[in-house]
Amino acid sequence: MNRNFKMVLQYEGTRYNGWQKQGNTSDTIQGKLEQILERMAGEPVEVQGSGRTDAGVHAAGQTANFRISEEFFRSRGLFRQEEAYLKSYLNRYLPDDIGVLSVEEVPERFHSRLSAERKTYCYQIETGEKQDVFQRRLSYHLGRSLDTEVMRLAAERLCGTHDFRSFCGNRKMKKSTVRTLYSVDICQKPGSSLVTLSFTGNGFLQNMVRILTGTLIEIGLGERDWRTVDDILRAKDRQAAGFTAPAEGLCLVQVIYEEMK
């Protein structure tokens, strides 16, 4: 009998080739986790993530689940210590830029991706002349000021349930590209040159947040009128939207599940 565990983890994605394990590289988040769990359990362990973050993308609250046999815990006398043991073991052997925040046992039916109700991504843009030394790996250095007011006007039109095909990086996508954006918040604190965009939705297409961000940046720079957002959505054509913002500014902040309410 296998038991199902959910973990919440954080990572700085700078040196990784994304979440999903690949045959030509060992530098993926999923690959690192599975390697350590397999060494612990003595057999292959599959880790399912809530989403496949791209190369260079970070996470403050990625969620994943995996299964470990009951016999493993019984043989080690880990009665009621399973969650603490798993968290400690993972953090002991994971590199410094990956950390497990929590581990908890969940029902067999729980799946980190299929059970997710909504996700929040954050994108940071440095508009100042010089990149903040401590934020340089976590934000995109645009180096130009943005009109956040017109960006907010455009963001309002993006919220709701739409076909976001124009904002999908996979131009051969055959599955539905309809998603719901619950909110797009744009914040720049007084005196700060850092602009933060937060996107919360029920799911995101490949590169969707980065393309949304690139489009909003073009609007904030005055290169595109905010009223054209409706036209971009209607076009259902990737070429109608803006550029794909670089990976380094993007972070998966939180994944919400029904039982977490």
Domains of the chain are 2-106 (3.30.70.580), 117-260 (3.30.70.660)
In the block, tokens 């009621």 appear at: 80
Instruction: Encode pLDDT of 71-117 as tens digits.
Output: 999 998 998 899 999 999 999 999 999 999 999 999 999 999 999 99
Q: Catalytic annotation on 163?
A: no
pLDDT of residue 259: 64
How do beta strands 178-187 and 160-163 pair?
Answer: antiparallel
Selected catalytic residue, list 54, 163, 230, 237 = 54
Q: What does pTM read for this prediction?
A: 0.94
Q: How far apart are CA 240 and CA 179, in angstroms?
A: 18
Cα–Cα dist 204/51, whole Å: 9
Beta-strand relationship, 178-187 and 98-106: unpaired
pLDDT digits (tens, 9 = 90+) for 168-206: 999 888 899 999 999 999 999 999 999 999 999 999 999
Angle in degrees, CA 117, 120, 126, rounded to 5: 170
